[in-house]
Amino acid sequence: MLTILLRHTVVNVRHRSTISLNYGQSILVRKFLCTSVQRQAHLPQLSPYDVNLILRENEFMYTFTEEQNCSVHGYESNQLSSNRPCEDTRTEASFIHKNAFICGIFDGHGGPACSQVVSKRLLRYIAASVIDRKILKEQIKQKCNSQSFLKCHNDKVDFVKEIKDLYEESFSKFVRKISSQSQNERSKEIQNAFLSLDKDLSEEALRHTNIRTMSVAMSGAVACVAHVEGIDLHVANTGDCTAVLGTQNTETGQWLSKKLTVEHNTDNHREVKRILSEHPKEERDTAIRNDRLLGQLAPLRALGDFRYKWSSTTMEKFVVPVYGEASIPQHYFTPPYLTAEPEVEHHTLTPNDKFLVIASDGLWDFLTPSQVVGLVGEHLSSKRILEPVKIPSGDVSLQSIADLLAQRKAGLTTKPLDQNSATHLIRYALGSTDYGIEHSKISYYLSLPQDVVRLYRDDITITVIYFNSDCISSLKDTGTS
């Protein structure tokens, strides 16, 4: 249930934004964990039926016709929450004025408000940025709004009126501004959309100070967005979500994985070096401490999180009166420390590129990119077994038909338990062992009480995009992008 849409806001604390504990607090935490472990010994054993209900509650599938989107066959997505409410969000949409597809996964922290807002707004900023400027100007003349450029496929909620009007005002200013500018290359336009939305989130919080706008500004979200048009795939990433391309070798049938994102955290030495270079040498030991930005934030890029971006004067004026002095991080000398700017990777699709998996870090805590591609590849092959039998044209012997049916019967023994590949990945992430998927392990993870589940698993959100190999092949043959 979307917090920002239901006229109240909840702000909580998660692993991405932490505070230091003194000795006494550490003792209390250890006692709490010991008590929790004792409680877990008596967790209920969920039945397979109950497990399936939980795993499939949020799954979604969509298949395109060739008229809707040539290079994308369809997509499958799912989400399993750990936090209450879930801090992950996802959005998928088709363009109204061109044959293209866009989707994104957003992993919130410090509460769900920022990820909820960004998931409903960022793709629309990008859509207005990448359509032809002539079309954009025509739409402005027709008094376009944020709904004028995309058709979302799984969007069941909307903003409350007062906040919706504010967001529409910001969007209108944005499209008028970019319509007067010459169109840049797609990567630059996508980057500008990220930064423009982040700027609007800041201005909205400072100009219309209330619990809604400020809760969005004080929480944050990382984002990974994929844009597909023809044979051009652009993946934009801010933070620590991951996108992996699944490619199949036509000769051997082997599945190959290719990461199209780089996580912005302290494992990324180039990112650490960038941040340190933007601040005085005196802050070398304080800008990043304990593998976190200012000792608090795990992702080193994010939308929102203006407590790491606003000036000290702004923080004292707008934030401290509401959230207290503790809202200003220690060693806050030369802001901004955080940026929303994404890194954008462009990939030219080939017929061997079969799918793209985008997921929040909850999945990658359990599985590697190569494991994910292998699982989706096997799932894709298994689902083909369930398709109607096609008898070859021409003279066909009874023996050939018998062999074909025998192959199908053998394949049915390996058919997937889940039709949705995102659900298949979540099931495998929670239940995999050296001997296959173990039901009791999945039951354990799904039965953990709310006060400790966050210590064992994060929110998991996955979108798997399937490409249309025949269409991509024909586009490459004709030289169409």
Q: Which of 303, 276, 294, 335 is nearest to 219 (CA)?
A: 303
Mean pLDDT for the stretch of residues 280-301: 96
Chain segment 256-268, per-residue pLDDT in tens: 999 999 999 999 9
Q: Which of 64-78, 124-138, 383-397 has the lowest mean pLDDT?
A: 383-397
Residue 399's pLDDT band (boundaries 50, 70, 90)? confident
Instruction: Kindly state the average pLDDT of the residues 378-390.
Output: 68
What are the pLDDT digits (tens) for 75-86?
999 999 999 999
Please name the residue ranges forming H helices in 158-247.
161-179, 186-207, 211-218
What pTM, to 2 d.p., does this model score?
0.87
Please report the pLDDT score of residue 90 as a whole number. Answer: 97
Q: What pLDDT is recorded for position 245?
A: 98
Q: Specify the range with the lowest mean pLDDT, choosing from 136-145, 185-194, 377-386, 418-427.
A: 377-386
Examine the pLDDT at 21 and tell me if it is beyond 50. Answer: no
Q: At what angle do helices 113-130 and 161-179 cross, to 10 degrees?
A: 30
What dihedral angle (degrees, nearest 10) is formed by the CA atoms of 173, 175, 179, 180? 20
Does residue 238 have a pLDDT over 60? yes
Which element (helix H / strand E) includes 229? strand 220-229
pLDDT of residue 457: 94
Least trusted range by pLDDT, from 223-237, 272-286, 395-409:
395-409
**pLDDT score recorded for residue 16:** 52
- Whether residue 1 is predicted with pLDDT greater than 50 in this model: the reply is no
In this prediction, residue 42 carries a pLDDT of: 65
The rounded mean pLDDT for the chain is 88
CA distances from 118 to 149, 342, 393 (A): 16, 14, 52
Rounded CA-CA distance 476/481 in Å is 8
Largest CA distance in the chain: 83
Helix axis angle, 369-385 relative to 421-431, nearest 10°? 130
The whole-angstrom separation of Cα 326 and Cα 81 is 29
Asked whether the predicted pLDDT for residue 144 surpasses 70, the reply is yes
Mean pLDDT score, 271-288? 96
More confident residue, 401 or 225: 225
Give me the pLDDT at residue 413, please.
56
Cβ neighbors of 277 (< 8 A, separation 6 or more) are none
182 CB contacts (<8 Å, ≥6 apart)?
A: 133
| pLDDT recorded at residue 255 | 96
- Higher-pLDDT residue of 148, 23: 148
For 185-215, the pLDDT digits (tens) are 999 999 999 999 999 999 999 998 889 999 9
CA–CA distance, 40 with 349 (Å, rounded to integer)? 47
Q: How confident is the model at residue 411 (pLDDT cuts 50, 70, 90)?
A: low
User: What is the average per-residue pLDDT within 56-67?
Assistant: 91
pLDDT at 2 over 60: no
Which of 108, 298, 102, 70 lies closest to 222 in space, CA to CA?
A: 108
Residue 10: predicted pLDDT: 33
pLDDT in tens, 434-481: 888 899 999 999 999 988 999 999 999 999 999 999 999 988 777 665
Q: Is the pLDDT of residue 26 over 70?
A: no
Residue 422 has pLDDT above 70, yes or no: yes
- Average pLDDT (309-336) is 95
Amino acid identity for residue 290 in this structure: N
Residue of 239, 328, 327, 337 whose CA lies nearest to 283: 337
Choice among 53-62, 379-388, 446-455 with the minimum mean pLDDT: 379-388
Task: Give the integer Cα–Cα distance in Å for 299 and 475.
Answer: 38
